[in-house]
Amino acid sequence: MKIGIVCYPTFGGSGVVATELGMALADKGHEVHFITYNQPVRLDFISHHLHFHQVLLEEYPLFQYQPYELALSSKIVEVVEKYQLDVLHVHYAIPHAYAAYMAKQMLIEKGISVKVVTTLHGTDITLVGSHPTYKTAVEFSINNSDVVTAVSNDLKKTTNRLFIIKNNIQVIYNFIDTQKYDKAHQQKCNRAAIAKPDERILTHVSNFRPVKRVEDVIKVFYEVHKEIPSKLLLIGEGPERSKAENLVNKLKISNDVLFLGNSSEVTKILCYSDIFLLPSQTESFGLAALEAMAARTPVISTNTGGLPEVNIHGKTGYLSDLGDVTEMANNAISILKNQETLEMFKQNAKEHTKRFSLDNILPIYEDIYKSCYKKQDL
Ligand code: GMT
């Protein structure tokens, strides 16, 4: 099949899922066309079935804000027409589902029919999408998509609570290429470059937005560090970074906290992590937690949103109420202080990710595309 994928090309979870999905589809022989403003960060062009079409914006003095949706929908029309795409899969409702709807209408005028699959990822619903500024257009775009999917049961429930949705939202969990993590685990993990042999390594990966509560990450680490020799690795960039640095300095733990910035080597970094911290205000799914678990890292997280569907309390890690840094620290200590317990949690975390393997999830998306294709033929 010929599939168009519209996504954010950044390190954020929705872009990562879209890119990994596109690459996996190309590996299976589908022709995949990414349509976005930059080349997706995780995209590597090892397959000749992969194409990237950049959405370019024109500067004009009148525009305070450049009309990205207009440029995107024009580009979608161009690509669908030129490459005769069968289906468009848009990740993150804002503004992708809206742009896809507009493109679809323009294509109808040209006698071309294309189906639109929209995948809701979380903040497009919970934090941004339901805001009165966007709500009407987001609800309209969801209701006018041919298929709507959400990455967790919790996100489906939240979408139905916040919007009046006519379609049945299909839940398709995010996935992980387990083989990629197995390979990374087999390669030599250069742990000595980061920590001394008796030190534990705690890790956090995010876009450092307020929703991630990076200060809670540091507070949890501070408590753990008092009891157990340890290092904290912070991967990512974002608006809360300087606040986080200030707190690290204030708590006088800067020698043991490493800010590593954005990285495309997360798999390698996770290979020497002992605990992953994700104390988010909300997470529709928590792909970062799943990636950590695939790398045999137990997760200490909040119990918000879809996190309980990914992290199993007492098995793959622990879940706590939002802001309960003391409990999170105690849970981390209880895992870290005993090597056997740590090994058991590591094993459980790895085992649990099998149900989210790419091999299980990819056919579900393919079936959705096929069903769109059939609808089109009628
Ligand atoms: O977490 C973010 O701020 C990034 C955001 C995105 O859309 O890129 O992540 C959302 O989608 C991910 C992939 O489906 C989920 O794993 C994240 O939980 C979700 N983030 C939130 O709900 C806050």
Tens-place pLDDT, residues 255-298: 999 999 998 788 888 888 999 999 999 999 999 999 999 999 99
Residues 289 and 371 in one domain: no
Residues 110 and 28 in one domain: yes
User: Could you identify the atom of ligand 1 that is nearest to the CA of residue 10?
Assistant: 8
pLDDT band at 190 (very low <50, low <70, confident <90, very high): confident
Residues 260 and 127 in one domain: no
Dump pLDDT digits (tens) for 11-40.
889 999 999 999 999 999 999 999 999 988
Spatial distance between the Cα atoms of 357 and 30, rounded to a whole number of angstroms = 19
Residues 248 and 273 in one domain: yes
Residues 149 and 192 in one domain: no
User: Could you identify the atom of ligand 1 that is nearest to the CA of residue 124?
Assistant: 7
Residues 334 and 185 in one domain: yes
What phi and psi values does residue 333 have, to the nearest 5 degrees?
Answer: -60, -40
Dump pLDDT digits (tens) for 85-116.
999 999 999 999 999 999 999 999 999 999 99
Q: In terms of C-beta density within 10 A (0-12 exposed, 13-18 middle, 19 or more buried), how is residue 35 classed?
A: buried
Res. 312: pLDDT tops 90: yes
Residues 264 and 320 in one domain: yes
Q: Which residues pair with 111 in a beta bridge?
A: none
CATH number, domain containing residue 288: 3.40.50.2000
Residues 22 and 167 in one domain: yes
Q: What pLDDT does 265 receive?
A: 80
Q: What pLDDT does 378 receive?
A: 45
Average pLDDT, the chain: 94
Closest CA to ligand 1's atom 23: 283
- For the chain, the domain total comes to 2
Dump pLDDT digits (tens) for 229-246.
999 999 999 999 999 999
Res. 223: pLDDT tops 80: yes
Contact (CB, 8 A) for 358 and 175 = yes
pLDDT band at 371 (very low <50, low <70, confident <90, very high): very high
**191-216 average pLDDT score:** 94
User: Could you identify the atom of ligand 1 that is nearest to the CA of residue 282?
Assistant: 23
User: Could you identify the atom of ligand 1 that is nearest to the CA of residue 151?
Assistant: 14
Mark 349-374 as b/e (b = at least 16 C-beta within 10 Å).
Answer: bbebbeebebeebbeebbebbeebee
For residue 155, give its domain range. Answer: 2-175+357-377
Residue with tokens 């027409």: 81
Quote the ligand 1 centre to 120 CA distance (angstroms): 9
Please count the other Cβ atoms lying within 10 Å of the Cβ belonging to residue 314.
10
Quote the ligand 1 centre to 176 CA distance (angstroms): 15
pLDDT band at 374 (very low <50, low <70, confident <90, very high): low
Q: In terms of C-beta density within 10 A (0-12 exposed, 13-18 middle, 19 or more buried), how is residue 41 classed?
A: middle
* Per-residue CA distances from 179 to 25, 151, 267, 295 (Å): 16, 22, 11, 10
Residues 255 and 132 in one domain: no
Q: What pLDDT does 330 receive?
A: 98
**For the whole model, what pTM was predicted?**
0.94
pLDDT band at 46 (very low <50, low <70, confident <90, very high): low
Q: What pLDDT does 76 receive?
A: 98
Residues 90 and 115 in one domain: yes
Contacts of 270 (CB under 8 A, 6+ apart): 181, 184, 203, 276, 291, 292, 294, 295, 297
Q: Is the dihedral of CA 70, 75, 80, 82 positive or negative?
A: positive
Residues 239 and 274 in one domain: yes
Quote the ligand 1 centre to 193 CA distance (angstroms): 30
Quote the ligand 1 centre to 48 CA distance (angstroms): 29
Residue of 176, 280, 287 with the most ligand 1 atoms within 8 Å of its CB, for mutation: 287
Residues 162 and 275 in one domain: no
- Please list every protein residue whose CB sits less than 6 Å from any atom of ligand 1: 12-15, 17, 92, 121-123, 126, 151, 174, 207, 209, 211, 282-287
